[in-house]
Amino acid sequence: MADELQETSGSKKKLIIIIAAVVILLAGGGAAAWFMLGDDVPEPEVASEQTQATAAQNEPAYYVTLPQPFIFNVTGDKRDRLVQVKVQLMVRGDDNEETAKQHIPLLESTLLQTFGAATVEELRTPNGRVELREKALQSVQNALQKVSGQQVVERVLFTGFVMQ
Protein backbone atom coordinates (compact mmCIF):
# COMPACT_ATOMS: atom_id res chain seq x y z
CA MET A 1 0.00 0.00 0.00
CA ALA A 2 2.86 2.32 0.71
CA ASP A 3 4.26 1.53 -2.74
CA GLU A 4 0.96 2.49 -4.40
CA LEU A 5 0.82 5.73 -2.46
CA GLN A 6 4.39 6.55 -3.48
CA GLU A 7 3.64 5.79 -7.18
CA THR A 8 0.54 8.00 -7.26
CA SER A 9 2.33 10.88 -5.57
CA GLY A 10 5.25 10.49 -8.05
CA SER A 11 2.89 10.50 -11.04
CA LYS A 12 1.04 13.52 -9.61
CA LYS A 13 4.35 15.36 -9.34
CA LYS A 14 5.18 14.52 -12.97
CA LEU A 15 1.72 15.68 -14.06
CA ILE A 16 2.09 18.97 -12.16
CA ILE A 17 5.56 19.52 -13.69
CA ILE A 18 4.24 18.85 -17.21
CA ILE A 19 1.26 21.18 -16.71
CA ALA A 20 3.55 23.92 -15.33
CA ALA A 21 5.91 23.53 -18.32
CA VAL A 22 3.01 23.80 -20.77
CA VAL A 23 1.68 26.92 -19.03
CA ILE A 24 5.15 28.52 -19.07
CA LEU A 25 5.59 27.70 -22.78
CA LEU A 26 2.18 29.11 -23.65
CA ALA A 27 2.85 32.29 -21.66
CA GLY A 28 6.26 32.68 -23.32
CA GLY A 29 4.78 32.13 -26.79
CA GLY A 30 2.02 34.67 -26.11
CA ALA A 31 4.55 37.23 -24.88
CA ALA A 32 6.78 36.62 -27.90
CA ALA A 33 3.82 37.05 -30.27
CA TRP A 34 2.80 40.27 -28.52
CA PHE A 35 6.30 41.71 -28.86
CA MET A 36 6.72 40.55 -32.47
CA LEU A 37 3.37 41.81 -33.70
CA GLY A 38 3.69 44.97 -31.66
CA ASP A 39 1.30 47.83 -31.50
CA ASP A 40 -0.61 48.30 -34.77
CA VAL A 41 -1.44 51.93 -33.98
CA PRO A 42 0.98 54.12 -35.97
CA GLU A 43 2.48 57.23 -34.45
CA PRO A 44 0.60 60.45 -35.24
CA GLU A 45 3.28 61.79 -37.61
CA VAL A 46 3.43 58.52 -39.53
CA ALA A 47 -0.35 58.35 -39.65
CA SER A 48 -0.60 61.78 -41.25
CA GLU A 49 2.01 60.85 -43.89
CA GLN A 50 0.15 57.63 -44.63
CA THR A 51 -3.12 59.52 -44.84
CA GLN A 52 -1.61 62.01 -47.29
CA ALA A 53 -0.16 59.19 -49.42
CA THR A 54 -3.51 57.38 -49.42
CA ALA A 55 -5.35 60.58 -50.30
CA ALA A 56 -2.95 61.17 -53.18
CA GLN A 57 -3.56 57.63 -54.44
CA ASN A 58 -7.34 58.16 -54.28
CA GLU A 59 -7.20 61.22 -56.53
CA PRO A 60 -7.63 60.58 -60.25
CA ALA A 61 -4.56 60.29 -62.44
CA TYR A 62 -4.08 62.86 -65.17
CA TYR A 63 -1.58 62.74 -68.01
CA VAL A 64 0.15 65.94 -69.03
CA THR A 65 1.41 65.68 -72.60
CA LEU A 66 4.48 67.73 -73.34
CA PRO A 67 3.76 69.66 -76.53
CA GLN A 68 6.76 68.61 -78.62
CA PRO A 69 8.84 65.45 -78.74
CA PHE A 70 12.42 65.69 -77.53
CA ILE A 71 14.97 65.35 -80.34
CA PHE A 72 18.60 65.07 -79.27
CA ASN A 73 21.94 63.51 -80.21
CA VAL A 74 23.57 60.84 -78.09
CA THR A 75 27.19 59.82 -78.33
CA GLY A 76 28.16 56.27 -79.12
CA ASP A 77 31.30 54.21 -79.47
CA LYS A 78 31.29 54.21 -83.29
CA ARG A 79 28.97 57.07 -84.22
CA ASP A 80 26.46 59.47 -82.79
CA ARG A 81 22.76 58.72 -82.94
CA LEU A 82 19.66 60.85 -83.20
CA VAL A 83 16.91 60.08 -80.66
CA GLN A 84 13.31 61.22 -80.54
CA VAL A 85 11.29 60.73 -77.34
CA LYS A 86 7.65 61.63 -76.76
CA VAL A 87 6.92 62.16 -73.07
CA GLN A 88 3.82 62.31 -70.91
CA LEU A 89 3.80 63.00 -67.18
CA MET A 90 1.41 61.23 -64.81
CA VAL A 91 0.13 63.43 -61.98
CA ARG A 92 -2.59 62.96 -59.35
CA GLY A 93 -5.32 65.53 -58.87
CA ASP A 94 -6.36 68.78 -60.50
CA ASP A 95 -3.90 70.91 -58.53
CA ASN A 96 -0.90 68.85 -59.62
CA GLU A 97 -2.09 68.89 -63.21
CA GLU A 98 -2.32 72.68 -63.20
CA THR A 99 1.10 72.98 -61.54
CA ALA A 100 2.68 70.70 -64.15
CA LYS A 101 1.06 72.59 -67.03
CA GLN A 102 2.19 75.90 -65.56
CA HIS A 103 5.82 74.75 -65.42
CA ILE A 104 6.12 73.00 -68.81
CA PRO A 105 9.14 75.10 -69.92
CA LEU A 106 11.00 74.11 -66.74
CA LEU A 107 10.04 70.46 -67.25
CA GLU A 108 11.18 70.49 -70.88
CA SER A 109 14.53 72.04 -69.96
CA THR A 110 15.08 69.57 -67.12
CA LEU A 111 14.19 66.58 -69.30
CA LEU A 112 16.39 67.77 -72.16
CA GLN A 113 19.37 68.01 -69.77
CA THR A 114 18.68 64.51 -68.47
CA PHE A 115 18.27 63.03 -71.95
CA GLY A 116 21.39 64.79 -73.22
CA ALA A 117 23.51 62.99 -70.61
CA ALA A 118 22.50 59.55 -71.95
CA THR A 119 24.72 57.40 -74.17
CA VAL A 120 23.86 55.06 -77.03
CA GLU A 121 24.89 52.04 -74.96
CA GLU A 122 22.39 53.00 -72.24
CA LEU A 123 19.54 53.55 -74.66
CA ARG A 124 20.01 50.30 -76.62
CA THR A 125 18.78 48.09 -73.80
CA PRO A 126 15.32 48.10 -72.22
CA ASN A 127 16.95 48.37 -68.77
CA GLY A 128 18.83 51.45 -69.93
CA ARG A 129 15.60 53.11 -71.03
CA VAL A 130 14.01 52.26 -67.68
CA GLU A 131 16.98 53.83 -65.90
CA LEU A 132 16.68 56.92 -68.09
CA ARG A 133 12.98 57.17 -67.23
CA GLU A 134 13.81 56.91 -63.50
CA LYS A 135 16.53 59.58 -63.82
CA ALA A 136 14.05 61.79 -65.68
CA LEU A 137 11.46 61.30 -62.93
CA GLN A 138 13.98 62.21 -60.22
CA SER A 139 15.15 65.32 -62.06
CA VAL A 140 11.58 66.48 -62.77
CA GLN A 141 10.51 65.91 -59.17
CA ASN A 142 13.53 67.78 -57.85
CA ALA A 143 12.94 70.73 -60.17
CA LEU A 144 9.25 70.99 -59.25
CA GLN A 145 10.07 70.55 -55.55
CA LYS A 146 12.24 73.66 -55.72
CA VAL A 147 9.55 75.69 -57.50
CA SER A 148 6.27 74.48 -55.96
CA GLY A 149 7.39 72.83 -52.74
CA GLN A 150 5.86 69.45 -53.57
CA GLN A 151 6.45 66.42 -55.77
CA VAL A 152 3.92 66.95 -58.50
CA VAL A 153 4.85 64.23 -61.00
CA GLU A 154 4.29 60.59 -60.10
CA ARG A 155 5.66 58.98 -63.27
CA VAL A 156 7.43 59.91 -66.48
CA LEU A 157 6.12 57.90 -69.43
CA PHE A 158 7.77 57.45 -72.81
CA THR A 159 4.95 57.26 -75.33
CA GLY A 160 7.31 57.25 -78.31
CA PHE A 161 10.97 56.29 -78.54
CA VAL A 162 12.93 56.27 -81.80
CA MET A 163 16.71 55.96 -82.14
CA GLN A 164 18.41 56.20 -85.55
Burial class (CB in 10 A: 0-12, 13-18, 19+), 48: exposed
How confident is the model at residue 14, as a pLDDT? 85
Q: State residue 40's pLDDT score.
A: 54
Residues (pLDDT < 70) of the chain are 1-9, 34-35, 38-57
- Cβ contact 152:61 at 8 Å: no
**Homologous superfamily (CATH) for 59-163:** Band 7 domain (3.30.479.30)
Distance CA 86, CA 15 (A): 78
The predicted structure's pLDDT at residue 157: 92
pLDDT of residue 45: 57
Query: 10 Å Cβ neighbour count for 122?
Result: 15
pLDDT score at 41 = 52
> Could you tell me the pTM of the whole model?
0.62
pLDDT of 57 reads: 66
Could you give the residue ranges of the DSSP H alpha helices within 38-93? 44-58
* 5-15 per-position pLDDT tens digit: 555 667 788 88
Q: What pLDDT sits at residue 126?
A: 87
Q: What pLDDT is attached to residue 42?
A: 55
